[in-house]
Structure 1
Amino acid sequence: MFHRNTALRLAVPTAVLALALTACGGGDSKSEGSDDKPKDGAASSQPKEEKLAAGASTTGKVEEDGAAVTYDVAAQKVDLGTAADAKKLVQDPEDAKGLVPAVAHIKFTHKGGAPLTDTPDVADTTEVWADGTRGGLLIGAAEDAQGCEDPLDLEGWKKGESHVLCETYLVPESAKNLEVHWAEKDDAKPAIWSLPAE
């Protein structure tokens, strides 16, 4: 899983968003010669994932500022934008050629543990996959998307409260199958929702 933190988000200008992964399937562990797909066996070497329908929920514990918090997690939908939208979201429009933004909406409910003393990290392991390949992360894009909440406003999140947090990825314009992946931590097996584009 690809993890990023709030400090990285704060460093990104809001007018022009950074494309953290410039190629679908790329990432911080990308190997030489892998082009824009994972090395053979990368996906198959992962443990079997939990498969969920749209709106179904799973439960996970996340380390939030040194304390474990239990969340109920439900991916609700993926809003798919246009090629024109994608070009507006990156510094170099060539980086978005053939791609469209996909905004994953995930509802997180604080089920147990202490109230948060800082901005939440629970959404940081959210990924959008298209046709079996991870998309390219756009840091900071989701905070302005309709129906999405800004994690920076959620300090003090306590048991019983639910919030919709979003992540934006660039995926191929021709993608047929979209999935939202979420895990408790980077090296945990993800829960996977297969969601239609809206």
Structure 2
Amino acid sequence: MPYRKTALPVALLALALTAGCGGGDGGDDAKSPAKPSPSATEALAPGESVTGKVAEDPGTVTYAIAAEKVDVGTEAEARKAVSEPEKAKGLVLATAHVTYTHRGGPALTDSPEVGDGTTLFADGQRGAILIGAAEDAPGCEDPYDVESWKQGESHTFCETYLVPAHAKNVEVHWAEEDGEPHIWTFAGA
């Protein structure tokens, strides 16, 4: 199911403004548009799976990764979700739902790191992540609650970002550490 509008539960959260979405720390990486290199993986359809390896505790795990959907909220919800509502003007919440399946390697003994490779872009600009916003979203699991993740098991983790309200497209990026991103494209609103 591509990019869809939905109501999201919101709470006052700390806003990590790292993108060109209206302020932040000025980090070059956050302001740079998505520029896949020639060796980057081609665009993937929603739900299409790729394989990646992640250094987990106690060893390297092979995962199947699939960005399933992106739920998009309203501007009013975005303003309610941040501690400084004026910084959310013209922005909406976008929650990426990504399913990870343990395909090989040891069972995890600590919280998974696989979700750390996920980012969300809208119209070529990286969104501003909202820390802790997705754990309560329907269909999302908190990675800190996953214990002893074994081969064959799947979990869906979510990341919520602030993106421009009228973005034409949204992309979910996932990459191995220092790797080129796999990119799932979702149509805009």
Tell me the TM-score normalized by structure 1: 0.81
Q: Percent identity?
A: 59
Partners of 1:183 and 1:116 in 2: how far apart?
20
1:142-164: per-residue Cα shift (whole Å, max 9, x none)?
A: 10111101111102111000011
| Structure-2 change in CA distance of 1:155 and 1:27 (3 Å) | farther
Secondary structure, counterpart of 1:116 in structure 2:
coil
Provide the residue aligned with 1:70 in structure 2: 62
Provide the residue aligned with 1:88 in structure 2: 80
Write the letter of the residue equivalent to 2:27: K
Unaligned runs of 5+ in 2: 1-9
Which residue, 92, 108, 117 being the options, matches 2:109? 117
Larger deviation, residues 187-196 vs 14-23: 14-23
Assess if the C-alpha contact under 8 Å between 1:179 and 1:192 holds in 2.
yes
1:43-62: per-residue Cα shift (whole Å, max 9, x none)?
A: 44745321211110000000
Which residue, 17, 22, 29 being the options, matches 2:13? 17
Aligned residues: 178
What pairs with 1:24-103 in structure 2 (closer than 5 Å)? 24=20, 30-31=27-28, 37-38=31-32, 43-44=34-35, 46-50=37-41, 51-103=43-95
Secondary structure, counterpart of 1:143 in structure 2:
coil
Cα RMSD, aligned residues only:
2.4
Write the letter of the residue equivalent to 1:30: G
Unaligned runs of 5+ in 1: 1-13
Partners of 1:24 and 1:87 in 2: how far apart?
17
Following TM superposition, by how much is the alpha carbon of 1:103 offset from its aligned partner in structure 2, in angstroms? Answer: 0.2
Write the letter of the residue equivalent to 1:170: L
